[in-house]
């Protein structure tokens, strides 16, 4: 399908579509998204009794998915995951490798970024209320991978996993949702999103 129809540029689906370019742009966005997630991962607060810290990497992964779209978001977070497993020290607290009880959450970032990106492409990042709904879905995907992995790695039950892998992180998740709900619609407005029709 042509990028121009009747002289009108094709509607951008996600924020990164507003950046001109093609392959080189996509490579730069993918690498930058992984690097941003790694940088935000260093905003880390330990949680007493849990091997899983509260970090900014969840916010990074979800923002990257929303801004890059499902394909680029998936590849960007897959790069983050695989490079960290290979030795890049950009997980929380500069951790890396595969022997990590919270690795399941990082695996979840890959799929959450893709799903959030798909929802963003359908207008899920245009208004605060839509962003909150989109990010809730993304967080649920992360927990769907992270909690079972934590249970298997630590040999714990559901109740313990809830206590050390979910409960303490919900307030932080709420703050991250509010940040995303403020940032994404503001970016669309600042970049001229009002000139494009949502949907269709």
Phi (first) and psi of residue 10, to 5 degrees: -60, 140
User: Environment class of residue 9 by beta-carbon count within 10 Å: exposed (0-12), middle (13-18) or buried (19+)?
Assistant: exposed
Domain boundary assignment for the chain: 14-195
Cα separation of 76 and 15, whole Å? 15
> What's the confidence (pLDDT) of residue 10?
61
Q: Looking at residues 14-24, what average pLDDT do you find? A: 89
Asked whether the predicted pLDDT for residue 3 surpasses 90, the reply is no
Predicted confidence band of residue 192 (pLDDT cuts 50, 70, 90): low
> What's the confidence (pLDDT) of residue 2?
41
Greater model confidence, 94 or 4: 94
H-assigned helices in 87-169: 103-119, 128-154, 158-165
Asked whether the predicted pLDDT for residue 26 surpasses 50, the reply is yes
> What's the confidence (pLDDT) of residue 20?
85
What is the model's pTM? Answer: 0.88
User: 42-53 pLDDT, tens per residue?
Assistant: 999 999 889 999
> What's the confidence (pLDDT) of residue 19?
87
> What's the confidence (pLDDT) of residue 197?
46
Predicted confidence band of residue 22 (pLDDT cuts 50, 70, 90): confident
User: Environment class of residue 143 by beta-carbon count within 10 Å: exposed (0-12), middle (13-18) or buried (19+)?
Assistant: buried
Fold classification of 14-195 is Arp2/3 complex 21 kDa subunit ARPC3 (1.10.1760)
């Amino acid at each position: 399908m042509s990028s121009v129809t009747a002289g009108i540029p094709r509607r951008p689906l996600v924020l990164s579509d507003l950046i001109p370019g093609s392959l080189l742009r996509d490579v730069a966005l993918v690498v930058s998204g992984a690097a941003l997630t790694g940088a935000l991962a260093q905003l880390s607060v330990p949680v007493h009794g849990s091997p899983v810290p509260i970090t900014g990497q969840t916010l990074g992964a979800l923002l990257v998915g929303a801004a890059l779209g499902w394909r680029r978001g998936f590849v960007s977070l897959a790069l983050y995951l695989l490079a960290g497993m290979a030795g890049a020290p950009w997980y929380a607290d500069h951790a890396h490798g595969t022997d990590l009880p919270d690795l399941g959450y990082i695996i979840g970032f890959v799929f959450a970024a893709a799903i959030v990106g798909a929802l963003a492409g359908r207008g899920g990042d245009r208004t605060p209320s839509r962003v909150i709904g989109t990010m809730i879905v993304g967080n649920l995907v992360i927990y769907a991978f992270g909690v079972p992995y934590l249970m298997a790695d630590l040999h714990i039950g559901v109740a313990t996993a809830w206590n050390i892998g979910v409960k303490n992180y919900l307030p932080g998740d709420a703050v991250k949702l509010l940040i995303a709900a403020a940032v994404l619609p503001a970016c669309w407005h600042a970049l001229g999103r009002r000139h494009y029709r949502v949907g269709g």
